[in-house]
Amino acid sequence: MSVRVQPELRNQLIQFGIGDWNACYHCGTCTAQCPLSEEGFLFPRKKIRLMQMGLKNELEASVEPWLCYYCGDCSTSCPRDANPGELMMSLRRYLTSIYDWTGMSKKFYTSELWELGFIIAFAALVVLSFLIVLPSMGYHFTRELTAEGGVQVNAFAPIHVVETFDWTMAAIVASLLISNILRMYYKIIWKYGNMKVSIWVHIREFWLLILNFTVQPKFNKCDDKRYWLSHWFLMSGYTIMFIVIVVYLPWFQTEKILPVWHPQRLLGYYATFGLLFGLFVAIIGRIQRKDIKFLFSHISDWLFLAMLTLTAITGILIHIFRITGMPVATYISYIAHMSVLVPMILIEVPFSKWSHLAYRPFAVYFQQLKKYAVPR
Amino acid sequence: MRSKEITGLFFYNHSGLYPDPIDYSELIRYSYLFENVAKAYTYSDFIWNEKNILKKIEENNFKRIIIAGLIPGTVKALFSKAMALAGKDPEKVLLASFNDYCTGTLFNPERLKIVLASIISGIPYEFTGIPDELPVNNATLVVGGGISGIQAALEIAYSNNLVYLVEKSGTIGGKMATFDKTFPTLDCAACILTPKMVEVNQHPNIRLMSYSEIIEVTGRPGNFNVKVLKKARKVNVQTCIGCGTCAEKCPAQAPSEFDAGTCMRKAIYIPFPQAVPNKYLVDAENCIYLKNGKCKACVKACPVPGCIDLDEQDSEVIINVGNIIIATGYKPFDAGRMTQFGYGQFPNVLNSLEFERLLNASGPTSGNIHFRSQDKKGNWIFNTSTGKPEKIAIIHCVGSRDKNFNKYCSRVCCMYSLKFAHLIMEKLPEAEIFEYFIDMRSFGKGYEEFYERIKQEDVSIIRGKTAKVEQHGEKLFLRGEDILKGEILENLVDMVILSVGLESGEDAGKISEMLNIATNTDGWFEEAHYNLDPTGTCRGGIFLAGTCQGPKDIPDCVAQGSAAAARVIQSILKGRIRDDSMSVSLEHVERKIEELSTVPI
């Protein structure tokens, strides 16, 4: 396969983050330092080389940026202040935009106006549907409390309507993500990788995908183990919340106030704790900027953290107001909750930072496939 | 005013210094006093590209352009091209560098104006900025007795002039005396250096003051009064016969400085057997008598009555000299600062000076390569009782070319590391050697050939620096990326040698203050002009030689030693010496410009 140099790559990449890859003089310290870098999958230096040379196709075909969990050891030891860790982060943003066929991802990453505009538009749609569409369908909020003294949430936001909406949203997001993953597969294995992998290998190595989705064992291979735990709490909290809200909404959004030990409440409390703990570590880190991992913050990092925090806080408020029987407050926080949650899921999951929930485990899976691949 | 052409002045204030120490608005105001300056711009006024510059040239009809600032040559090509495009003479683009002409690290505004005035008026600084001449004392002081100092002292002494050679330690010879071989010729360092050292000691024109330091310098060029602190040697240099009986009896031990701490010496000691002067001295910090008031074993053992006087005190001498040559050398980078390589934690991680002693036939193991082990008193030293390494790794660029430590290249490490590889092959033909390098800088005459030669020998030369060294049992574990092969290289070796870089000497700051000469941000002494006067300083009668000016190898040190001596001899022959460059005032320069403008060409 011929190698094509694309000098304009520099101008494209520069929009996705901070870093000076021309500073790199290829001493190899970063690769040697990285416990995740392994035979055949060398990074960060090799990827910086591709960036310097403008080898766009090779960059798009690489899984390595997704194998990096940004402990920052490479940036600390870099003798040239080239910040290889941040360059990998920028590459992940770039790759997200490359996998995305709609072109929205690139817009969101490179223009704050687009990202903020869409968030506000989605939020406005949510508010409007609560204030106009639902009442016109005959669902009004009521100040009447249930027999136990709780708020009648379902009168205001009927389960079957919300559930239908949830499933629609999940379907849109999933179809976008899956199509992007197929493009990722195409680029990594098929087009530029130019290799053949048997179907049996695909099936045999599938367990890696599930393992990496659930516990991120690679993250724990970093020398700095602290962030694996906080990330895992955040991830597990979010996943539980997502499954409960989309799949088991009738079981979760009840008007009946269940006892504290009931699995519904326990799961909810665990998920809230996990989310808050992970968010706390990330936000404090990004404010303090002591750790090299948090030294550079792209606008998308902050927006994501802000939206997730708002979602968590409004979720807690709904719960508190519902069981204490404060209908107006409950409804307001419900609207607020939905108007942050909807843009977050619609924008962050398929197009922005949140998409790594799919790309990272798939990258590990594809890496494994590459190991067993034969040249086509 | 020699130049009448319409001049455009461009200040290249893109210096990279924060905050910028130069007040450009003041300089612009000053430059407008000259009638031929039509317009002055700074880098921040407009975007400096060909198109914009061309526009400015055509707007103002510039016939001549001056770019002034720090390293203005960076942007010269732009202006030459724009001048050519405008149909003007592209040769008429002149540079006024603020780095040269003794503007100092603080960029003295008056000096900057002198530089500007000279170039704007078209009369070179070399004519306008000439300082007054003063009478000169024929005696010279050389500070530092390393190879550069020795060379300079001998050159001047052979011209029949008096030289004082002041050396801080107990022997002259400096770092070179500790080396085993020199690259690329593989000469035995001691064999070529020690005859010169003896020559210094025996020369009638050289007054050798070892174990002494300069503490105060007063006076003007041509007539300096230097106060020298003669540290108490506590052994009479005249009567000591160098028999060594005292050291045999001495009960106190300390790590030997000359051997880079690889073995122990006594508290009364001679730095090494070929030391010059070949006389003993007492280490006051470790002497038991000086600590407790009891012992005097050496005094009892000494066969010469009255030779050892443990109660001797430091004394001061004032010498009067015309010129001073600074040759204070360097200090090796402290490898312990790069904690990832484990120097100081793992016994078999060595720095290059220690390994140099290990290779040396006069070193602690008589030139055999052995492991470091603990002696009975717990000191980590080298001796022949331990085994020999089978795999040795050499890591280049330790502390050099690293923004976290020293940004600059130390110039000599690549070559001495290759030399190490060769010497290890000579001594341990079975050993495997791994050189981890970033870029191989074999820059000198015969150096690239030496590199090619080492490549032919069975040495693994790996492109890619290791990230860290870990102790795995008895062995040392290294993980690195082999960049040329594109794979991770994991390696278990017995010994790691860190090729440490060069840093400015410990006393550089003190000396720069004492003599009022500038150092750059890395602590190296600043020369008068980077290209054209690398031995001179901005002060008259003070010259630089050797590594105190910047990292360099032995041939360059010797060359610079000779060059500094030539400058000294020049002033002695002439009988007069130029005053400090800084002593020239702006009025003097302006007067000079007036005068010279009337001279017909």
Position B228 confidence tier, pLDDT thresholds 50, 70, 90 = very high
Is-contact A94 A184, C-beta < 8 A? no
By Cβ distance, the residue of B403, B463, B483 closest to A81 is: B403
The CB-side HSE value for B88 (13 A sphere, CA atoms) comes to 23
Position B168 confidence tier, pLDDT thresholds 50, 70, 90 = very high
Chain A contact for B470 (CB, 8 A cutoff) = no
- Which residues of chain B make contact with A25, given a CB cutoff of 8 A? 401, 438-439
Q: Which residue of B has its CA nearest to A38?
A: B488
Q: Which residue of B has its CA nearest to A76?
A: B404
Q: Which residue of B has its CA nearest to A80?
A: B403
φ, ψ of residue B68 to 5 degrees: the values are -120, 145
C-alpha separations of B52 from A45, B8, B75, B227, B595 in Å = 38, 13, 13, 59, 38
Strand B487-493 to B475-482 pairing: antiparallel
By Cβ distance, the residue of B468, B479, B483 closest to A26 is: B483
Q: CA B351, CA B336: separation in Å to the nearest integer?
A: 9
Q: Do A26 and B438 touch (CB under 8 A)?
A: yes
* Cβ contacts of A320 within 8 Å, gap of 6 or more: none
Angle at B365 between CA B360 and CA B367, to 5 degrees: 35
What's at A304, amino acid-wise? F
* Cβ contacts of B115 within 8 Å, gap of 6 or more: B68, B96, B97, B98, B101, B103, B125
Q: CA B399, CA B11: separation in Å to the nearest integer?
A: 35
Is-contact B355 B263, C-beta < 8 A? no
DSSP-assigned letter for residue B308: B
- Which residues of chain A make contact with B479, given a CB cutoff of 8 A? 32
Chain B contact for A221 (CB, 8 A cutoff) = no
Q: In what order do the strands lie in the sheet containing B315-321?
A: B212-220, B223-230, B315-321
What is the average pLDDT across B106-131? 88
A–B interface: beta-carbon pairs under 8 A: 62
Q: How would you classify residue B54: left for phi > 0, otherwise alpha for psi between -120 and 50, otherwise beta?
A: alpha
| Whole-number pLDDT of residue A192 | 67
Is the pLDDT confidence value at A168 over 70? yes
Average pLDDT value over all residues in chain A: 88
Residues 68-87 of B with CB under 8 A from A: none
| Whole-number pLDDT of residue A57 | 87
* Cβ contacts of B19 within 8 Å, gap of 6 or more: none
Q: Do A42 and B488 touch (CB under 8 A)?
A: yes
Q: Do B463 and A28 touch (CB under 8 A)?
A: yes
By Cβ distance, the residue of A30, A31, A79 closest to B401 is: A79
Each residue's pLDDT tens digit, B466-501: 999 999 999 999 999 999 998 899 999 999 999 999
What's at A170, amino acid-wise? A
Q: Do A45 and B481 touch (CB under 8 A)?
A: yes
Which of A58-62, A293-297, B229-233, B335-339 comes out lowest in average pLDDT?
A: A293-297
Chain A contact for B484 (CB, 8 A cutoff) = no
| Whole-number pLDDT of residue A1 | 54
- Which residues of chain A make contact with B483, given a CB cutoff of 8 A? 26, 28, 45
Give burial (CB, 10 Å; 0-12/13-18/19+) of B323.
buried
By Cβ distance, the residue of A32, A38, A77 closest to B480 is: A32
Q: Do domains B140-231+314-329+505-578 and B331-503 have the same CATH topology?
A: yes
For the complex shown, is ipTM > 0.95? no
Chain A contact for B337 (CB, 8 A cutoff) = no
φ, ψ of residue B323 to 5 degrees: the values are -130, 155
Position B454 confidence tier, pLDDT thresholds 50, 70, 90 = very high
CATH numeric code, A9-99 = 1.10.1060.10
Is the pLDDT confidence value at B15 over 70? no
Q: Do B402 and A79 touch (CB under 8 A)?
A: yes
Chain A contact for B92 (CB, 8 A cutoff) = no
- Give B466→chain A minimum CA distance, Å: 6
Q: What is the helix (H) or strand (E) element at residue B462, kind and residue range?
A: strand B460-463
- Give A313→chain B minimum CA distance, Å: 42
Each residue's pLDDT tens digit, A306-348: 999 999 999 999 999 988 888 889 889 999 999 999 999 999 8
- Which residues of chain B make contact with A32, given a CB cutoff of 8 A? 464-468, 479-481, 488
Q: CA B98, CA B17: separation in Å to the nearest integer?
A: 13
Task: Kindly write down the DSSP assignment for every residue of B531-547, as one continuous string.
Answer: TTBSSB-SSTTEEE-GG
Q: Do B403 and A80 touch (CB under 8 A)?
A: yes
Q: Do B340 and A37 touch (CB under 8 A)?
A: no
Is-contact B510 B489, C-beta < 8 A? no
Q: Do A27 and B479 touch (CB under 8 A)?
A: no
Residue of A26, A29, A47, A71 to mutate when probing chain B, most B C-beta within 10 A: A29
| Whole-number pLDDT of residue B233 | 92
Domain-by-domain residue ranges, chain B?
Answer: 7-130+584-597, 140-231+314-329+505-578, 331-503
Residue of B395, B402, B414, B481 to mutate when probing chain A, most A C-beta within 10 A: B481
| Whole-number pLDDT of residue A372 | 87
- Which residues of chain A make contact with B464, given a CB cutoff of 8 A? 26-28, 31-32
Q: Do A38 and B479 touch (CB under 8 A)?
A: no
Q: Which residue of B has its CA nearest to A44?
A: B481
Position A149 confidence tier, pLDDT thresholds 50, 70, 90 = confident
| Whole-number pLDDT of residue B301 | 93
Q: Which residue of B has its CA nearest to A37?
A: B488
What is the average pLDDT across B228-243? 93
Which of A10-24, A283-297, B66-80, B496-510 comes out lowest in average pLDDT?
A: A10-24
| Whole-number pLDDT of residue B150 | 97
Is-contact B396 B417, C-beta < 8 A? yes
| Whole-number pLDDT of residue B601 | 66
| Whole-number pLDDT of residue B569 | 97
Nearest to B489 by CA among B436, B449, B539, B542: B436
| Whole-number pLDDT of residue A139 | 79
Residue of A20, A24, A27 to mutate when probing chain B, most B C-beta within 10 A: A27
Is the pLDDT confidence value at A22 over 90? no
Task: Kindly write down the DSSP assignment for every residue of B124-153, as one continuous string.
Answer: -HHHHSPPPEEE--S-EEEE--SHHHHHHH
> How many percent of chain A have pLDDT more than 90?
46
What is the average pLDDT across A222-231? 87
More confident residue, B207 or A150: B207
- Give B488→chain A minimum CA distance, Å: 6
State which CATH number among 3.50.50.60, 3.40.50.720, 3.40.50.150, 3.30.920.30 fits the domain covering B140-231+314-329+505-578.
3.50.50.60
Which residues on adjacent β-strands are paired with residue B224? Answer: B219, B321
Residues 488-517 of B with CB under 8 A from A: 488
Q: CA B444, CA B559: separation in Å to the nearest integer?
A: 14
Q: Do B479 and A32 touch (CB under 8 A)?
A: yes
- Give B130→chain A minimum CA distance, Å: 42
CATH numeric code, B7-130+584-597 = 3.40.50
- Which residues of chain A make contact with B340, given a CB cutoff of 8 A? 77
CATH 1.10.1060.10: which residues of chain A? 9-99
- Give A25→chain B minimum CA distance, Å: 8
By Cβ distance, the residue of A30, A33, A79 closest to B403 is: A79
Residues 26-65 of A with CB under 8 A from B: 26-33, 37-39, 42, 45-46
Each residue's pLDDT tens digit, A123-145: 999 999 888 888 888 777 777 78
Is the pLDDT confidence value at B14 over 80? no
Q: Do A25 and B466 touch (CB under 8 A)?
A: no
| Whole-number pLDDT of residue A17 | 79
State which CATH number among 3.40.190.10, 3.90.1300.10, 3.40.50.970, 3.50.50.60 fits the domain covering B331-503.
3.50.50.60
Is-contact B193 B146, C-beta < 8 A? no
Each residue's pLDDT tens digit, B394-439: 999 999 999 999 999 999 999 999 999 999 999 999 999 999 999 9
Which of A19-23, A246-250, B286-290 comes out lowest in average pLDDT?
A: A19-23
> How many percent of chain A have pLDDT more than 70?
98
